[in-house]
Chains A and B, each alone.
Chain A
Amino acid sequence: MAKLKGLKKIKKSIFEYWQIYLLIIPVILWYLLFCYYPMYGVVIAFKDYLPSRGILGSAWVGLEHFKWLFSTSGFFRAFKNTLIISILKLVFCFPMPIILSIFLNEIKIVKLRKSVQTAIYLPFFISWVVIAGIIYNLLSVNGGIINNFRLLMGLDRLSYMTDSKYFYFILILAEIWKGAGWGTVIYIAAITNVSMDLYDAAEVDGCGRFKKMWYITLPSISPIIMIMFILQIGNILNAGFDSIFNLYNISVYNVADILDTYAYTIGISKGLAEKGAALGLFKAVINFGLLLGANQIVKKTSGHGLYS
């Protein structure tokens, strides 16, 4: 009886919405073609790929590519750099939007607050190619503003971009410049959802501005902070292809090459498609595991998770 009812419902739906069902076909086709179909290709990580044979026709070699990967020094260097950069980002870049949004919230003059917000969102919409270009110009040895400043102070010119000492510093500052402003959008939305009553009650209890921040604002937005944090952990092996690819050069490979850029180098530049794919698969599996793990831990400690 229930099955008949279900079928009847489907028939009714199709009858009423047939135009939409027709229109949705190209959309589904797009997904099948460009998202699902390429999924079979993940097996390329386990095969000895010959273009003439295609992916499915190529010979199966099991974990050979993974073994090769773990034997190269390039892999471990990339892995180390990835972890270092991700941790640096977690420590320096992650808190920035939170701090910014809390203090942005303290600006009472609406026009001023909105102007500042307009200014800080802008870098997000500019591509990393442009931002890297700007940074190269700013740090340029001959006429760049930083080196000009050094000359004024009586110091020598420095070539910042080719010195691995400065790479992390430049990278983190660039990431903050590009992302911190836009990152505040989510947190500000959360802050404005905090009920005014809480602040009024605190005021009555004699809380000053900073106490209110610490005891009301922060705890109220901690669920969203936790969610963002979990997502960051799930991204630890991703350290940022776009930013690093555009900012690095040969002289700083030893500190700048991360798993993604290494995968690009071996997969595309050197044409070792299978090994690049193996690296990608390795990363995806670990990232997924980290995401689940971080979600579990945060759930146990604070009661919030990605699904709560």
Chain B
Amino acid sequence: MEEITKVNTANSKKNKITIFGIVNSTILIVFGLICLFPFLYEILVSFASKTDYYQSTFIVFPKHFNIESYKYILFQGRIGNALIVSIFVTIAGTFFSMLLTIIGAYFLSREDMWGSRIFFYFILITMFFGGGLIPFFITVRNLGLMNSLAGIIVPFGINTFNMIILRNFFSRVPDSILESCKIDGASQIVMLFRFVVPLSLAGIATISLFYAVERWNDWYWPMLFITDDSIFPLSLELRNILSAKQSSGLGSGSVDSTVTFSEGQNAATIVMAIMPILAVYPFVQKYFVQGVMLGSVKE
């Protein structure tokens, strides 16, 4: 598994600095900064005080490290609670999804197993056809999963796309290793969890991360399935805060406290919602990229 460091132009031999090179790099650096800037902006606003915000002439620059907005949302709002809910749902959901997906991917990768092909078409069809929202809704309700955290984890346990990518990772484990396992008398379960999984750690990490991001960001299904606001996940809280703004379409809020302002609270909520992703992202980003690239090529 090589990292993609090859650069495909013949100029790489000469390695000289050209005007094109400078202009090109500059434009792309600017684009990269533009991608990052909005997040930086929100962090700035979240630490700003009301006066800082309304007095700002261009970019809000907090004069002091102000945590009023955070204090408000974590203690007076429901955000503190929602944070815990989101963390639980993400961890439990990822664990649940990975369990099912690993088994399914392994089954798919063992092409000598009878039914492997059939199973592949079985899951492929579900990627293109579905019953639609209402029947799905009714099914979940009939199973008694309404208004529960299980209801936003279990029905979304498997993402077929992820399973196929993981299958491709599992196929890469050399047959010779599996052969010697068999000779040593290892059972299939041992083979799967003690050998195949550890040998495909990159794939496991990648798919786990995909699932984690999916669960953390999910607001739509919680919106439909959960009515008890004490178990709203963070993304749904953010969504509710936003839509309260939507009806007026303006950026100002009506908070009677003298030190908080809605943009600051929104910014603090946004920062809380993206903090885990921002913190983990630089380290795991290469897994995502490798995962997508390696996973989409079948060997």
Contact = CB atoms under 8 A, between A and B. Distances in A.
Interface in B82-133: 100, 103-104, 106-107, 110, 112-115, 119, 122-123, 126, 128-133
Contacts of B187: 19
B251 A136 contact: yes
Interface in B54-100: 54, 56-60, 100
B130 A212 contact: no
Q: Categorize the interface residue count of chain A.
A: 35 or more
Contacts of A20: 103, 106-107, 110, 113, 188-189, 192
A43 B54 CA distance: 55
Contact of B45 (A42, A137, A209): A137
Interface residues of chain A: helix, strand, loop or mixed (majority): helix
Given A34-B155, A134-B38, A143-B53, A10 B10 contact: no
B250 A141 contact: yes
Nearest to B189: A19
Contact of A17 (B12, B136, B188): B188
A34 B270 CA distance: 32
Given A10-B114, A31-B158, A132 B242 contact: yes
A191 interface: yes
B239 A152 contact: no
Contacts of B132: 38, 41-42, 44-45, 277, 280-281
A100 B36 contact: no
A142 B246 contact: no
Given A129-B239, A134-B38, A41 B136 contact: yes
Given A138-B38, A246-B239, A103 B24 contact: yes
A39 B114 CA distance: 26
Contacts of B24: 103, 106-107
Contacts of A141: 250-252
B174 interface: no
Contacts of B251: 136-137, 139-144
B185 interface: no
B45 A125 contact: no
A233 B196 CA distance: 38
Given A38-B139, A127-B235, A277-B134, A13 B281 contact: no
Contacts of A136: 242, 245, 251, 266
Interface in A22-69: 23-24, 26-28, 30-31, 33-42, 44-45, 49, 55
Contacts of A103: 24, 27-28
B232 interface: no
Contact of B103 (A14, A23, A112): A23
Nearest to B17: A108
A249 B249 contact: yes
Contacts of A36: 126
A229 interface: no
A17 B126 contact: no
A202 interface: yes
Interface string A149-170: 1011000000101100000000
B10 A44 contact: no
B41 interface: yes
Interface string A268-307: 1000010011001100100010000000000000000000
B113 A126 contact: no
Contacts of A277: 132-135
B224 interface: yes
Contacts of B254: none
Given A44-B134, A103-B24, A30 B158 contact: yes
Contact of B59 (A100, A105, A145): A145
B277 A185 contact: no
Contact of A137 (B7, B129, B130, B267): B267
Interface in B227-269: 235, 238-239, 241-242, 245-247, 249-252, 263, 266-267, 269
Contact of A55 (B54, B133, B138, B241): B138
B180 interface: no
A121 interface: yes
Given A24-B103, A137-B263, A130 B270 contact: yes
A136 to B, nearest CB: 6
Given A19-B189, A209-B11, A267 B41 contact: no
Given A40-B135, A108-B11, A116-B31, 9 more contacts: A27-B103, A38-B132, A38-B139, A39-B131, A44-B134, A115-B32, A143-B54, A145-B41, A249-B249
